[in-house]
Amino acid sequence: MKLLLDTHTLIWAVDNPAKLGKTASTELQDPANELVLGTGTIWELAIKIGQGKLALSMPYRKWMERAIADLSLTIAPVTIEIVEHLIGLPMHHKDPFDRLLVCQALNDKLPVVSIDPILDSYGVSRIW
């Protein structure tokens, strides 16, 4: 099964796996699952680090390369088809990166690995 990772899920999977929910942890470790990371998440991390709102356990690029390798992540691009979902997407969530994550999940029909219960209101499948 393909699983789309939320930003905090990625951070915790690399820097603090004990913070992951039991089901999330089990699914992330299952070699039968393909872990997907949206390019919006890569962008969000860089922005928050640049703003001083987030720190990782090592410099950004090294951390990202390690995360991608260690978790065998597949990088999913943001496409016009995905972004088009934003046009009619209800404003349950104000964070533009979470809204983009929802659009990617809806478009690609992927469950999201996230602690955020607001995502449920969009009808996406959420694993935690």
How many angstroms separate the most distant Cα atoms in the chain?
38
pTM of the model: 0.96
CB atoms within 10 A of CB 52: 7
Residues whose CB is less than 8 angstroms from the CB of residue 103 and which lie 6 or more positions away in sequence, other chains included = 82, 83, 85, 86, 89
Quick: pLDDT tens for 80-110: 999 999 999 999 989 999 999 999 999 999 9
Mean per-residue pLDDT of the chain: 97
Provide the token pair at 20. Answer: 């992951």
For residue 92, what pLDDT is reported? 94
Residues of the chain where predicted confidence (pLDDT) is lower than 50: none
Give the domains, in start order, of the chain with CATH numbers: 2-116 (3.40.50.1010)
Report how far Cα 14 is from the mean position of its chain's Cα atoms: 13
The dihedral built from the CA positions of residue 81, 2, 118 and 96, taken in this order, carries a sign that is negative
57: DSSP letter: S
- Per 3-state DSSP, the chain is made up of helix, strand and coil in percentages (nearest 5) of 55, 10, 30
